Amino acid sequence: MASAWLARVRRLNAHNLTTFRDAPLAEISGSLGDLGTLLPLMIALAAKGYIDLGSTLVFSGAFNVLTGVIFGIPLPVQPMKPLDWIYPVLDNRIWALVAFLVLVFTQNMPRFPYALSFFVLALVLALIQVLTSHQSLPWFQVWHPHFVLPSWVGNGDAPALWMAIGQLPLTTLNSIIAVSALAADLLPDLPTPSVTSIGLSVALMNLTGTWFGAMPVCHGAGGLAAQFRFGARSGASVILLGLLKIFLGLLFGKTLVNLLTQYPKSLLGVMVVAAGLELAKVGHTLNQGAPDLWHVSASQGDHAAGLRQHRHLSDEERLERWTVMLVTTAGLLAFRNDAVGFLAGMLCHSSYRLSERFMGWKSRRSIISSERAPLLR
């Protein structure tokens, strides 16, 4: 078992190296694709003192590296204010509009390093804002790990137990179940991480770094979509991101807060939009190409070769699948709660299954009655 696992890891990292060698800019750009989700949460929590920025960077960076090595895909490790048209000068709707237009015009240019280009631009704008506001720039401050005991219950700012319970439905659906299905859709040529392995990964990450003040992290479907959209095709992208985080966390730590606080929200917002569009595009596979519609051919020759065939869907089944998706989406949007959307979709799906069983039972009853009728005469 161990030798097979090691052989699999070697194959995945050979793919990581080959992919990075063939398209280094795309992998680097893709590694930055999830900043729109990561930075706003990390900055807000660090600025209020809820997390230690140095510990967050070091531990999440280490998790990025391990994730890329073990899974071999750009699996993310992830956790705005309203803008005006003109003010602030370096972070307004005009910057967002420019970023959006560039995003649109580069839709058919998969090698264009969009995320890398705008990351560098945003970093320059943030540096200018820090300097003009006379805030302190990052300086060397070697990170020292320190133990932090979470506040489990009570009336504190962040009681860990209640936060964990509230986060459980979202984490289970988005960063375990959905990310496994999305990986199969976006990267069909690579081994798809199982739901169990992703769940264990999320558990191990949060049972380690959080004791040292690091931010709780997970593997989000939105992050995977963003990193894929901006060029990432292997674990090399998140390994590079992880090494960068570790470097910044070890040498600068919490001194980065001022710089990150000034990072333009306008540019981050466009990257979040791009991730949402990438997720939405996957919806077209609902009735064509979805993992549950493929099966091994029934013929002996094809079965031996492991050939797969696409299962034919009737019009009724297509309608049913769309209905379940729409009910799930309606629950999410109406209540702004993943758990409600999930339960609504499950209830809709269950109603179809119960209806099938009822109709099957009714059909069998009518057949039995028709067979008994001649005997009774």
Could you tell me the residue ranges of all domains in the chain? 2-283, 313-372
**Closest listed residue to residue 34, CA positions, set 274, 251, 205:** 274
Q: Which of the residue ranges 142-151, 266-275, 306-315, 359-368 would you say has the lowest mean pLDDT? A: 306-315
Q: How many CB atoms lie within 10 A of CB 367?
A: 10
The amino acid occupying position 32 is: L
Separation between Cα atoms, residue 332 and residue 328, nearest integer Å: 6
Q: Which of the residue ranges 210-224, 261-275, 359-373 would you say has the lowest mean pLDDT? A: 359-373
DSSP 327-374: HHHHHHHHH--HHHHHHHHHHHHHHHHHHHHHHHHHHHHHHHHHHHHH
Indicate if the pLDDT at residue 304 is higher than 50.
Answer: no
- Determine the pLDDT at residue 61: 92
Separation in Å, CA 172 to CA 76, 166, 245: 15, 11, 26
Tens-place pLDDT, residues 85-120:
777 778 888 888 888 888 878 877 767 888 888 888
- Determine the pLDDT at residue 307: 58
CA 26 to chain centre: 18
For residue 308, give the 3-state DSSP assignment. strand
Q: Report the pLDDT averaged over residues 147-174.
A: 69
CB-based contacts of 258-261 (< 8 A; 24+ apart in sequence): 258/130, 258/135, 258/136, 258/137, 258/138, 259/126, 259/127, 259/130, 259/137, 259/138, 260/39, 260/42, 260/43, 260/46, 260/53, 260/126, 261/43, 261/47
3-state helix, strand, coil in the chain (%, to 5): 70, 0, 30
- Determine the pLDDT at residue 236: 92
Q: With contact defined as beta carbons under 8 Å apart, do 220 and 179 qualify?
A: yes
Separation between Cα atoms, residue 33 and residue 182, nearest integer Å: 16
Range of 35-49, 162-176, 248-262 with top mean pLDDT: 248-262
Range of 94-108, 241-255, 265-279, 300-314 with top mean pLDDT: 241-255
- Determine the pLDDT at residue 303: 44
Q: What is the mean pLDDT of the chain?
A: 80
pLDDT band at 300 (very low <50, low <70, confident <90, very high): very low
Indicate if the pLDDT at residue 254 is higher than 90.
Answer: no
